[in-house]
């Protein structure tokens, strides 16, 4: 199957402008064109876009995504480097998850604190000054 840029945008969750932008900066190989010169994305293009958006979601900078994209053209010779990029990204993502988890704990703690305030409000002591955040 082949998809117009609007269809590709819909399916990838990226905007039309972003699709053209990704092509310009060489994240995405120029797709085929129809007789009128309009982009015609293939399923393979969409698959690559889907993977790209995963990388983006993990916070990989565009520069590194581009390196990865370029390496794809160099066949198996580049497989080692490509794998290394993914392994490093996995490490970064795991670290990020841990960091977020610890922030989640802080949020929970603070929220509990506010619930405490609410409870005090309901009861007798309206003492509040001095409670920091």
Partner DNA sequence: ATTTGACCTGGAGTGCACTCCAGGTCGTAG
Partner DNA sequence: CTACGACCTGGAGTGCACTCCAGGTCAAAT
Residues lying near DNA in the complex (CB under 7 A) = 4-7, 15-18, 20-21, 33, 35-39, 56, 61-63
2 binds, among DNA, a second copy, none (CB under 5 to 8 A by kind): none
DSSP result, 4-29 = -HHHHHHHHT--HHHHHHHHHTTSSP
Binding at 21: pick from a second copy, DNA, none (beta carbon under 5-8 Å per type): DNA
Which residues is 33 bridged to in the sheet?
Answer: 39
Beta bridge partners of 3: 41
Q: What residue ranges bind a second copy (CB under 8 A)?
A: 44, 47-48, 51, 54-55, 57-58, 72, 75-76, 79-80, 82-83, 86-87, 89-90, 93-94, 96-97, 99-101, 103-104, 106-108, 110-111, 114-115, 117-118, 121, 126, 128-129, 132-133
Helices (H), the chain: 5-12, 16-24, 43-57, 62-72, 79-122
């Amino acid at each position: 199957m082949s998809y117009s840029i609007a269809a590709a945008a819909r399916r990838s969750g990226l905007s039309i402008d972003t699709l053209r932008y990704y092509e310009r900066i060489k994240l995405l190989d120029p797709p085929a064109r129809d007789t009128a010169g309009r982009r015609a994305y293939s399923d393979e293009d969409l698959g690559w876009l889907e993977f790209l958006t995963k990388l983006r979601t993990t916070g990989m900078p565009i520069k590194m995504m581009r390196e990865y994209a370029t390496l794809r053209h160099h066949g198996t010779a580049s497989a080692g480097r490509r794998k290394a990029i993914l392994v490093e990204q996995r490490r970064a993502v795991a670290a990020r998850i841990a960091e977020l988890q610890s922030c989640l704990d802080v949020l929970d703690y603070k929220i509990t604190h506010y619930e405490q305030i609410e409870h005090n409000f309901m009861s007798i002591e309206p003492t509040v000054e001095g409670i920091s955040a």
